[in-house]
């Protein structure tokens, strides 16, 4: 009997242990589902625990609702401090509903770490560079997107209470999950005077009626009731402060830029991230992931800023066009020109105040949800069955995808409901885990390709070599010393914009020795014609920068003999020292 009791106790202990292990995030991470906020935090900490020699767990700060914002630094301290290497900053999910952005960040972190000892290119990359990754900026939004009823586009905002409808009340009219299915879908009502009709061959879809056609439905909007009894529905949910319109460069108030907030950095979230970034001046490349549309966006974010310097555009084109190849179907675009104007956005703040190069990755192409054979895909528009509305054609295709590849999980069929005001209505449409989000089985390809675009840009952060390529005696105890700085990568050691706007000091090239004196020094303009622009004061210190795939050459006239130390210091490219003897 005692033995039986012992077996029972062991069984329950084992079951409890097994259950706890099932709840625990383990490495390697899986990318065939989406991580909740709590799972995301566990995943970051699990990566740090699994690779303690290559990672540092970063506590960024508290969100507006008091949740922890976590990041991870990937760096090999044996090859130098993170701050002394080119920094690559990556974040995601600044909008609460854009959740797959976090998955790209997690995948990038895991891919770099698990391949460090397997792939020489990755090992070299992690040894030479430093990655700062914050998978979820809007942690409140991520929490509420998973835990509350939403549609695919709701719950974007930071959680700062606001009176969005100017009625003196705050956040009092959220959408309501009337049928309790966890989604905020659409409401429609039979109406002989309505402006919509269903398609005869696809009753799940509604289109606008044409003149003379029978009227059938009125579309009432998103699921909900008039909570504040002001005659409007769902107009005052979480206070609308857009996390990507609240930054301190080119910020505009709400009457110009919706979601701007009352002032820049109003949110605890944006302030915490800004403070973290301010301590990492080595950041030279920025990737901020959003959804959707399949785009790699660069600035300027508004026309009045003017175009970037030509040298910087060359760098952007090289990186952006390669990203298009890595992720077929995505387009490299200019924000204001090819999409729309924004003010106070994060990327422009990084590029204009820190001089970094940056991209917004708009993840997922809705048109990829297709159900076509090769023959059908090649049909011309004339021979294929077409709706007059291209959007309707897309919706038809997506419904086929939903039916045959997602087994009906992406679309809720219309069902009757008794609304307290509208009476007999129907509720249905696309659910929250659809439309802007790929089905989980499509996720692995998305995260790998976008992480690879980041890796390509990381490989092209500056790598500088210093060589003393010419030492000649001019006269007794007077020597000409020529130094060449070579950058083998596409990204320069400073952006041209940072140089023109004097955002911070340029790179410094210096020469010193106990028994020598530098009597002249300057930049070599034409090596073959011996053209040198000499610096008037302190010739032993030269301010410089090294363009991408190029070089910078300097000349020093030195009096004396003995040991000489040449030092190159760069915010992005780190520090190099070289010693030699003048005899």
Tokens of 499: 């140089």
- pLDDT at 415 (0 to 100): 97
DSSP letters, 294-309, are: SEEEES-SSGGG-PPP
Helical pair 139-147 and 37-50, crossing angle rounded to 10 deg = 120
- What is the 3-class SS of 61-118, one letter each residue? EECCCCCEEEEEEECCHHHCCHHHCCEEEEEECCCCCCCHHHHHHHHHHHHHHHCCCC
Flag whether pLDDT at 375 surpasses 60.
yes
- pLDDT at 382 (0 to 100): 46
For residue 359, give the nearest of 104, 54, 57 by alpha carbon.
104
- pLDDT at 474 (0 to 100): 92
Residue 9: pLDDT band (50, 70, 90) is very low
Domains of the chain: 2-145+241-364+440-459 (3.40.630.10), 161-238+367-430 (no CATH), 464-582 (2.60.40.10)
Lowest mean pLDDT segment, chosen from 23-32, 350-359, 447-456, 546-555: 23-32
- pLDDT at 22 (0 to 100): 41
Q: How many CA atoms lie within 13 A of 243 on its CB side?
A: 33
Lowest mean pLDDT segment, chosen from 160-174, 281-295, 376-390: 376-390
Flag whether pLDDT at 24 surpasses 90.
no
* 190 SS3 class: strand
* 563 SS3 class: strand
Nearest-5° angle of CA 447, CA 448, CA 450?
Answer: 65
Read off the DSSP letter of residue 215.
Answer: P
Distance CA 23, CA 31 (A): 16
Tokens of 562: 């003995």
What is the average pLDDT score of the chain?
A: 93
Residue 390: pLDDT band (50, 70, 90) is confident
Residue 14: pLDDT band (50, 70, 90) is very low
**Average pLDDT score over residue span 139-156:** 96
Lowest mean pLDDT segment, chosen from 6-10, 240-244, 323-327, 440-444: 6-10
- pLDDT at 386 (0 to 100): 55
Tokens of 366: 């809705």
Alpha carbon 357 to chain centroid, angstroms: 13
Q: 106: alpha, beta or left, given left = phi > 0 and alpha = psi -120 to 50?
A: alpha
Lowest mean pLDDT segment, chosen from 11-25, 132-146, 171-185, 488-502: 11-25
The H or E element containing residue 139 is: helix 139-147
**Average pLDDT score over residue span 170-182:** 92
Place of tokens 């609702």: 65
- pLDDT at 391 (0 to 100): 85
Tokens of 482: 């020529």
Lowest mean pLDDT segment, chosen from 10-19, 136-145, 450-459: 10-19
- pLDDT at 385 (0 to 100): 52
Q: What is the pTM of this model?
A: 0.93
User: Which value, in Å, is the radius of gyration of the alpha carbons in the chain?
Assistant: 29
Flag whether pLDDT at 479 surpasses 60.
yes
512-522 pLDDT, tens digit each: 999 999 999 99
Identify whether the C-beta of residue 411 lies closer than 8 Å to the C-beta of residue 204.
yes
Sheet strands (E) in 307-410: 331-334, 357-363
- pLDDT at 374 (0 to 100): 87
Q: Both ends of the chain: CA-CA distance in Å?
A: 93
| Spatial CB neighbours of 449, under 8 Å, sequence gap ≥ 6 | 326, 327
Read off the DSSP letter of residue 322.
Answer: H
283-324 pLDDT, tens digit each: 999 999 999 999 999 999 999 999 999 999 999 999 999 999
**How many of the other CB atoms lie within 10 Å of CB of 520?**
17
Distance CA 365, CA 123 (A): 32
Count Cβ neighbours within 10 Å for each residue of 392-422 and write b for 16 or more, e otherwise: beebbbbbebbeeebeeebbbebeebebeee
Distance CA 289, CA 334 (A): 16
Flag whether pLDDT at 17 surpasses 80.
no
């Amino acid at each position: 009997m005692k033995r039986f009791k012992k077996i029972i106790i062991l069984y329950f202990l084992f079951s409890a242990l097994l259950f706890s292990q099932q709840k625990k995030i383990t490495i390697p991470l899986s990318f065939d589902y989406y991580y909740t906020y709590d799972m995301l935090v566990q995943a970051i900490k699990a990566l740090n625990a699994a690779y303690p020699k290559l990672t540092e767990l970063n506590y960024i700060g508290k969100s507006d609702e008091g949740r922890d914002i976590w990041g991870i630094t990937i760096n090999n301290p044996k090859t130098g401090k993170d701050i002394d290497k080119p920094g690559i900053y990556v974040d995601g999910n600044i909008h609460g509903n854009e959740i797959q952005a976090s998955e790209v960040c997690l995948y990038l972190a895991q891919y770099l770490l698990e391949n460090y000892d397997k792939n020489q290119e990755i090992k070299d990359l992690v040894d030479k560079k430093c990655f700062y990754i914050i998978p979820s900026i809007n942690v409140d939004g991520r929490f509420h997107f998973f835990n509350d009823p939403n549609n695919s586009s709701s719950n974007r905002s930071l959680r700062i209470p606001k009176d969005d409808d100017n009625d003196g009340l705050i956040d009092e009219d959220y959408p309501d999950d009337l049928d309790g299915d966890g989604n905020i879908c659409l409401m429609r009502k039979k109406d002989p005077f309505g402006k919509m009709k269903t398609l005869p061959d696809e009753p799940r879809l509604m289109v606008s009626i044409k003149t003379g056609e029978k009227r059938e439905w009125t579309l009432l909007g998103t699921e909900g009731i008039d909570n504040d009894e002001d005659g409007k529905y769902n107009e005052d949910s979480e206070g609308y402060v857009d996390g990507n319109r609240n930054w301190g460069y080119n910020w505009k108030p709400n009457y110009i830029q919706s979601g701007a907030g009352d002032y820049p950095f109003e949110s605890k979230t944006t302030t915490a991230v800004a403070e973290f970034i301010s301590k990492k001046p080595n950041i030279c490349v920025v990737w901020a992931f959003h959804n959707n549309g399949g785009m790699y966006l660069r600035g300027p974010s508004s026309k009045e800023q003017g175009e970037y310097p030509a040298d910087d555009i060359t760098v952007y084109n090289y990186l952006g066009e390669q990203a298009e190849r890595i992720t077929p179907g995505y387009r490299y675009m200019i924000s204001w020109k090819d999409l729309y104007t924004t003010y106070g956005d994060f990327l422009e703040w990084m590029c204009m105040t820190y001089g970094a190069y940056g991209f917004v990755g708009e993840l997922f192409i809705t048109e990829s949800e297709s159900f076509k054979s090769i023959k059908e895909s090649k049909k011309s528009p004339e021979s294929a069955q077409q709706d007059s509305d291209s959007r309707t054609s897309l919706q038809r295709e997506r419904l086929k995808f939903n039916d045959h590849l997602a087994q009906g999980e992406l679309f809720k069929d219309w069902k009757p409901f008794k609304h307290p005001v509208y009476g007999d209505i129907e509720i249905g449409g696309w659910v929250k885990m659809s439309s802007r989000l790929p089905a989980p089985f499509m996720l692995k390809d998305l995260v790998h390709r976008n992480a690879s675009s980041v890796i390509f840009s990381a490989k092209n952060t500056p790598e500088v070599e210093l060589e003393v390529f010419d030492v000649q005696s001019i006269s007794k105890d007077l020597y000409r010393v020529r130094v060449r700085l070579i950058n083998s990568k596409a990204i320069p050691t400073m952006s041209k914009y940072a140089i023109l706007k004097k955002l911070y000091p340029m790179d410094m090239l210096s020469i010193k020795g106990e028994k020598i004196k530098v009597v002249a020094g300057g930049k070599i303009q034409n090596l073959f014609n011996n053209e040198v622009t000499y610096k008037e004061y302190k010739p032993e210190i030269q301010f410089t920068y090294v363009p991408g795939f190029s070089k910078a050459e300097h000349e020093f006239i030195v009096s004396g003999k003995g040991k000489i130390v040449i030092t190159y210091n760069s915010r992005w490219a780190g520090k190099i020292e070289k010693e030699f003897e003048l005899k």
